[in-house]
């Protein structure tokens, strides 16, 4: 079964399928190894890992496509991409959709913010008109229908913060009519508001789920409850980059403060060299070397401990 079909069927079952956010190929592989059904690429995470910058529209679409390609190749589970605002107008959004389908992603998020956009949980967001976003969705849907009808278009609206829930729901239904498959009301706050959105939006609804310490404004509702409500997708968007930042910060701060600049015995902080090489598939490459390199034994095995 195609990855697009796998993802779309999971979302359409409205069982709150969980898609943790990844920021690179390694984090995507960890998510797959942890037996999640799918993953989504975090634009917030890409900005942090690639540039060390905030998510304010600094990562180019070319960079997004390159990293997305690496992530898709690294895992066997479906991957959703983050197309931000689509790279410009409806024509640009259609081109990005075609590129994403070509590199093998199973779906994408596209939002109704002005460019340059801002992370959904930052202040100062502005939205384009609903009509302009409808044009973008129609253009993306036309490409989807031509290339892969199961490719999932997640229409994100950032209108909740400035225009309220009623307008956000209205926009979601306009985007549904234009061809979107999934709706995401960014910044929605309470469980009751999620219930209302699920009841009134004419397509499955996606919900962000993170502890409030991360800055995510949506109430932390257990996934089984979201499934009972009929939520289509649950995203955990910034987890991988936040976890990486915390772990790296603590490790190197402790290393620097150590008198010996070593942290002996703290094996819980790191993977062993052997474990890591196994995880990234070193044995597969050793097998290829044995089969294809005429001087393998002399060059490698004679030096192995």
pLDDT tens by residue, 72-130: 999 999 999 999 999 999 999 999 999 999 999 999 999 999 766 655 555 556 789 99
Phi and psi angles of residue 81, each rounded to the nearest 5 degrees, phi first: -95, 160
- What pLDDT does residue 86 have? 94
- Among 3.30.1330.20, 3.20.20.60, 3.40.50.300, 3.30.530.20, name the CATH number for the domain at 3-244: 3.20.20.60
Continuous segment of H or E residues that includes residue 22: strand 17-22
Q: Which residues of the chain have pLDDT under 50?
A: none
- What pLDDT does residue 132 have? 98
Contacts for 68-74: CB closer than 8 Å, 24+ residues apart:
68/41, 68/100, 68/103, 68/105, 69/103, 69/104, 70/24, 70/25, 71/22, 71/24, 71/25, 71/28, 71/39, 71/41, 72/103, 72/104, 72/105, 73/25, 73/104, 74/25, 74/26, 74/28, 74/29
What residues does each domain of the chain span? Answer: 3-244, 271-305
- What pLDDT does residue 230 have? 98
Give Cα separations from 47 to 15, 124, 128, 167 (angstroms).
30, 18, 23, 29
- What pLDDT does residue 302 have? 57
Give Cα separations from 176 to 31, 135, 223, 232 (angstroms).
30, 12, 24, 14
CB atoms within 10 A of CB 98: 14
pTM comes to 0.92
Residue 250 tokens, joined: 């603590």
pLDDT, tens only, 50-71 = 999 998 889 999 999 999 999 9
- What pLDDT does residue 164 have? 95
CB atoms within 10 A of CB 230: 16
- What pLDDT does residue 18 have? 98
* DSSP 3-state of 17: strand
Q: Beta strands of 47-202 (E only): which ranges?
A: 79-82, 107-111, 152-157, 182-185
- What pLDDT does residue 293 have? 84
Residue 80 pairs in a beta bridge with 40, 107
């Amino acid at each position: 079964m195609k990855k697009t079909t796998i993802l779309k069927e999971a979302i359409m079952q409205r069982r709150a399928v969980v898609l943790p956010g990844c920021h690179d190929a390694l984090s995507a592989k960890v998510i797959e190894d942890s037996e999640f059904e799918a993953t989504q690429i975090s634009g917030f995470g890409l900005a942090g890992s690639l540039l060390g910058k905030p998510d304010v529209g600094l990562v180019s679409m070319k960079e997004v496509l390159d990293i997305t390609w690496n992530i898709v190749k690294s895992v066997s589970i479906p991957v959703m991409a983050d197309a931000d605002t689509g790279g410009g107008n409806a024509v640009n959004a259609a081109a990005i959709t075609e590129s994403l389908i070509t590199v093998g992603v199973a779906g994408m998020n596209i939002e109704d913010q002005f460019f340059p956009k801002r992370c959904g949980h930052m202040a100062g967001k502005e939205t384009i008109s609903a009509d302009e976003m409808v044009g973008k969705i129609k253009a993306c849907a036309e490409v989807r229908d031509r290339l892969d009808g199961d490719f999932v278009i997640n229409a994100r609206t950032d209108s909740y913060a400035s225009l309220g829930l009623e307008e956000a729901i209205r926009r979601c239904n306009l985007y549904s009519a234009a061809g979107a498959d999934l709706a995401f009301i960014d910044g929605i706050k309470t469980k009751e508001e999620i219930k209302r959105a699920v009841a009134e939006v004419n397509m499955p609804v996606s919900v962000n789920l993170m502890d409030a310490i991360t800055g995510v404004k949506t109430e932390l509702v257990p996934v089984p409850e979201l499934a009972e409500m009929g939520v289509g997708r649950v995203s955990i968007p910034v987890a991988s980059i936040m976890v990486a930042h915390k772990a790296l910060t603590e490790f190197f701060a402790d290393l620097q403060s150590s008198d010996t600049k070593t942290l002996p015995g703290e094996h819980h902080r790191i993977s062993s060299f052997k474990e890591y090489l196994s995880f990234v598939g070193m044995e597969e490459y050793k097998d290829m070397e044995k089969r294809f390199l005429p001087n393998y034994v002399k060059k490698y095995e004679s030096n192995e401990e």
